[in-house]
């Protein structure tokens, strides 16, 4: 059951799914940070170029601009989620968090995390003039708990040598004409095997991942490389069709490349 929360706070979003009893797969790439807590059940979480098996009591931190996807592996699950901007991250924690892991497994702090999410939910649902400051405090405490209790995560990371090498290849060559068939030939496997294994390992289709990565790179360039035209950026990110690029970009970010640039 997805619970809708009525509150609305600038640059902050809270949601929870309790006792959800059907398969769910969600894909994200967004200009916010994310904290995800698995209350019950389990899922496979693909983050950037790695996959993690997330269990009940695990906390996942997704930095800004990282491609990630969840694939639930149990019939029933419950999860809590917050999205927020950098304003809610304490400055003294930021550098350590950026250098740290994505997944935190420490059962001793699970109750603390759930208590903080409960406080966040109450503030989010009934906001007043103090809510934003209290959300900052509760979120900051969650970050400090992560830094103090990183846990042992060697067993949490799952890997596939073939897919790891292909993801690395895509990240290095996204600007080129990358096709499933040619990569399969390069790795001496059939396209069918590669497609199936890539999907099972990452939760994303091969072409889907390539497109997401290209769009992420394009967004970075639009915001930072103002001397280049939108067409030049699209081409340098592997898009040969300007109209297709604009369509995919708007679908992903909710705005056109030109409007994003003009808003900066």
- If DSSP states are collapsed to H, E and C, what string results for 4-66? CCCCCECCEEEEEEEEECCCCEEEECCCCEEEEEEEECEEEEEECCEEEEEECCEEEEECCCC
Task: Please choose, from the candidates 163, 234, 235, the residue with its C-alpha nearest in 3D space to the C-alpha of residue 204.
Answer: 163
Which of 117, 148, 179 terminates a domain? The answer is: 148
At 182, which CATH number?
1.10.10.60
Position 152 scores a pLDDT of 57
Per residue in 202-217, pLDDT (tens digit) is 878 999 999 989 998 9
* Listed range (62-66, 71-75, 181-185, 230-234) with the worst mean pLDDT: 71-75
Counted domains in the chain:
2
Q: Residues 166, 77: one domain?
A: no
Residue 205 lies in a domain: yes
**Cβ 135 vs Cβ 120: under 8 Å:** yes
Q: Residues 125, 176: one domain?
A: no
Position 69 scores a pLDDT of 82
> Distance between CA 129 and CA 110 in Å, rounded?
29
Q: Residues 168, 222: one domain?
A: yes
Which of 148, 174, 195 terminates a domain? The answer is: 148
Q: Residues 12, 143: one domain?
A: yes
DSSP 4: P
Residue 23: which pLDDT band, with cuts at 50, 70 and 90? Answer: low
Residue 175: which pLDDT band, with cuts at 50, 70 and 90? Answer: very high
Position 161 scores a pLDDT of 83
Q: Residues 123, 17: one domain?
A: yes
Decide if pLDDT at 25 tops 70.
no
Residue 114: which pLDDT band, with cuts at 50, 70 and 90? Answer: very high
Q: What is the mean pLDDT of the chain?
A: 86
Q: Residues 90, 134: one domain?
A: yes
> Distance between CA 90 and CA 144 in Å, rounded?
9
* Listed range (3-17, 77-91, 133-147, 216-230) with the worst mean pLDDT: 3-17
Q: Residues 175, 257: one domain?
A: yes
Q: Residues 166, 212: one domain?
A: yes
CA atoms within 13 A on the CB side of 76: 4
Average pLDDT over residues 8-14: 86
Owning domain of residue 139: 2-148
Position 118 scores a pLDDT of 96
Which of 113, 148, 183 terminates a domain? The answer is: 148
Helix H or strand E segment including 51:
strand 50-55
Position 4 scores a pLDDT of 47
Position 216 scores a pLDDT of 87
Residue 154 lies in a domain: no
Residue count of the chain, please give it.
264
> Distance between CA 264 and CA 246 in Å, rounded?
18
Decide if pLDDT at 263 tops 50.
yes
Position 262 scores a pLDDT of 86
The tokens describing 22, both together, are: 């059907």
Q: Residues 144, 245: one domain?
A: no
At 144, which CATH number?
2.60.120.280
Task: Work out the percent of the chain whose per-residue pLDDT is above 70.
Answer: 87
> Distance between CA 80 and CA 92 in Å, rounded?
25
Per residue in 225-238, pLDDT (tens digit) is 999 999 999 999 99
């Amino acid at each position: 059951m997805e619970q809708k929360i009525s509150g609305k706070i600038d640059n902050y979003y809270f949601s929870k799914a309790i006792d959800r009893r059907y398969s769910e797969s969600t894909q994200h790439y967004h200009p916010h940070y994310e904290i995800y807590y698995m209350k019950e059940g389990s899922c496979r979480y693909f983050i950037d170029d790695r996959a993690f098996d997330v269990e009940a009591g695990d906390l996942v931190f997704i930095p800004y601009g990282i491609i990630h996807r969840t694939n639930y592996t149990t019939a029933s699950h419950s999860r809590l989620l917050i999205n927020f901007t950098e304003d809610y991250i304490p400055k003294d924690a930021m550098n350590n968090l950026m250098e740290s892991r994505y997944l935190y497994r420490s059962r001793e702090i699970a109750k603390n995390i759930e208590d903080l999410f409960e406080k966040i939910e109450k503030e989010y649902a009934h906001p007043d003039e103090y809510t934003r400051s209290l959300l900052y405090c509760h979120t900051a405490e969650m970050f400090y708990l992560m830094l103090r209790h990183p846990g042992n995560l060697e067993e949490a990371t799952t890997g596939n040598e073939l897919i790891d090498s292909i993801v690395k290849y895509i990240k290095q060559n996204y600007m080129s004409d990358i096709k499933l068939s040619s990569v399969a030939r390069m790795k001496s496997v059939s396209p069918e095997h590669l497609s199936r294994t890539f999907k099972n390992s990452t939760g994303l289709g091969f072409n889907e991942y390539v497109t997401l990565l290209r769009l992420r790179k394009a967004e970075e360039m639009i915001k930072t490389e103002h001397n280049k035209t939108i067409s030049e950026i699209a081409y340098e990110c592997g898009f040969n069709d300007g109209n297709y690029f604009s369509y995919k970009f708007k679908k992903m970010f909710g705005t056109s490349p030109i409007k994003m640039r003009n808003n900066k």
